[in-house]
Structure 1
C-alpha cells in the first residue's frame, strides 16, 4: 500500500470512528411555542453538553401526548417521547382513546426519567376577592379549549358543584392575560410546569391570587398533590396547594442499554444547570419517581442503582 493510500485509509477510518461515536436521538415533545417544547430544546442542549457531543438530540414538534404514544408503533431505537405515565397504562391496556388501537409495541415502552409536571393554576384577579375554589361562583372564568388545563378546569368546576354558577368565557387561553388585566374576566385556568410563563406575565401586569385547594378537594380530584413554593409568582407570599399530572420521558426496549443509561445519567447530572436557565426544572426531584407507573428501561435502572435513587416497586 502506498503512503498516499495509507493516509487516505487512515482518514476514512477516523471519519467512520467519529461518525459511529455520535448517538442520534429524536425527542418528540409538544407544540412549538409551548413550555414543553422549550423544555425539549433545553434538554437537547444539556444532553449534548453533558456528553461532549456524543449524544445529538433532534427535537420534533408534536400535537400532544396521544400522538407521541401512537408513533411508538412505527419508530425505532432512537425514539424518545414525553407523555403522562397514566396514558402509557391506557395504551398498554387498549382503553379510552386507545380502544381498538392496541399494538404490541406499546408493551415495549420503558420509562427513563420524570420531567416537570402539568400543574393546575387557578389564577384570579385580586379584585375578584376569590380566596378558594368555592369563590368561583358568580365569576367569569376563561378555560381555553382542548388542552389538558381546559378539560381539567371544567372537570373541577363540575366536580365541586359550580357548573351553574360559573360563567365560562368564550376565548382562547392566549388572550387570558389581557382579558384579566382589562377586567373582561375574573380569572383563568391554565396547566403547565411552574413557574408557568402566562402566570408570571399575569402576576407582573396586575395583582393576582393563585388559588389553593384544600386537601379534601385534592383527594376528590384523584390527581397528585403538588405544592408551588411561596415566591414563585409576584405577590405570592405563601405556598400554593394544587394538583398536577405527572409527565415523564420514555423510550422502548429497542433502545440499547448504554444509550438509555447515558440519557438518564446526563439528565440528572445536568438538571441543576438547566434549572439555572429555566426554574421549572427545580420541580423535578427524585420524589417524582414514585409517580411513574411504567417499567423502567434496564439502562435507566442501572443509573438509578448507581445513584441510589429509589425506583417504584412496579
Structure 2
C-alpha cells in the first residue's frame, strides 16, 4: 500500500471513530389481541407510528395474543422490551391476586407500569331508526342481535337485566356479520357491538341504513359499574347529538424492567404522532389527556417524566 492510500485509510478510520457507533435500534415486542380484532390493527398502527416518529429508532414487533389476561401472564417470562395492552381493571386484579389471577399470584404483576391510553372498548347499541328507540326504556318489545360469547353480548345481556328488561327483549343469537342484513330486512330491531369509536362496522351500517344509537342517563351508567363514554354527535351518519354509553378503558403497559429513557421515548413519540395516526384511523381521535384519569395504578417513571413536562393531569396514586 502506497503512502497516499495509507493516509486516506487512516483519515477515514479517524472520521468513523469520531462519529462513534451507530445508534442501536430499540427493539420492542408488543402483545395486543387476536389478529382478527381491531386492537391488533391498532397495534400495527402504533408500531408504524413509533417507527416513523422516532426516525426508525424504535422497531416494534406486533405479536398475536389470546387477550389481555394472557398478556399479563406473559410478563413472567418477558424481557425489558415487552409492552402490552390491557384494561386497567385486569392489571389491578392481577396485583391483588383476584378473579382469574387467584391461583396465579406473582410478584411480577407488581412490576407492571402504565405508558399511555389507547382507544377505549365502547358499547354500541345500534337500533333501526324506524324502531323509534333512543333510550333503554324504548327496548321493551324489541329484538336485539347479539353474537353469543363475545364481550358485547355478555355486557348487553347484563344491561338488559340491570335495567329491568329481562323477558321484555328478544335476543337473537347470530354473528355480527349478518347484522346489517337482519336490520334492513326487519328481522331484528337492533344489534349490540363493542369497539372503539368510530367503529368501522357501525359506520358501514349507518351509511346504508338509518339508525339510532341508544343513550344512557347517569344512573344507568352507574348501575353498569363501567366507565362513562360520550360518542360525539356527528361520529356516525344521522347521529347529530352526543350519545352517552359505557366503555372499558384500554392502556399500553410495560414493566419496571424497561429503562426510563426507553419508556420516555415511547410515550413522547406516541403523543407526538397521534395527529398523524388520526389520519389513518379515526378511532385515535378519542384519545386525549382526559383518558389519563382512567389509568389506575402507577405510571412508568419514564412516562411520568414526559407527562410532567407537558403538564398532563396526574393523580397521586399514578406516581
Question: Normalized against structure 2, the TM-score is what?
Answer: 0.92
Name which of structure 1's ranges 105-114 and 277-286 shifts more when overlaid on structure 2.
277-286
2:156 corresponds, among 138, 141, 153, to 153
The reply to whether residue 255 of structure 1 matches residue 261 of structure 2 is no
- TM-score normalised by structure 1 residue count: 0.93
2:287 is equivalent to residue 273 of structure 1:
no
CA separation in 2, counterparts of 1:296 and 1:148? 27
CA RMSD of aligned residues (A): 2.3
Cα distance in 2 for partners of 1:84, 1:31 equals 15
Contact 1:145 1:173 in 2 (8 A): no
CA 1:151/1:6 → structure 2, altered by over 3 Å: closer, same or farther? farther
Alignment of 1:20-31 (within 5 A): 21-31=24-34
Q: CA deviation at 1:9?
A: 8.4
| Residue in structure 2 matched with residue 174 of structure 1 by the alignment | 177
Q: For the structure 1 residues 8 and 31, does the alpha-carbon distance in structure 2 shift closer, same or farther, using more than 3 Å as the test?
A: farther
SS at match of 2:316: coil
Per the alignment, residue 115 of structure 2 pairs with: 112
Aligned length: 313
The alpha carbon displacement at 1:175 in A equals 2.2
CA-CA distance at 1:145 after TM superposition: 2.6
> Gaps spanning 5+ residues in structure 1: where?
none
Distance 2:263 2:147 in 1: 37
Residue 210 in structure 1 maps to residue 213 in structure 2: yes
Shift of 1:13: 8.3
Between the aligned partners of 1:80 and 1:146, the Cα distance in structure 2 is 27
SS at match of 1:24: strand
| Per-residue deviation, residues 66-87 of structure 1 (Å, max 9, x unmatched) | 1111111111111110000011
Of structures 1 and 2, the larger Rg is shown by 2
5+ residue gaps in structure 2? none
What is the CA-CA distance between 1:233 and the residue it aligns to? 0.2
Distance 1:222 1:55 in 2: 38
Runs of 4+ in 1 over 4 A off after TM superposition: 2-14
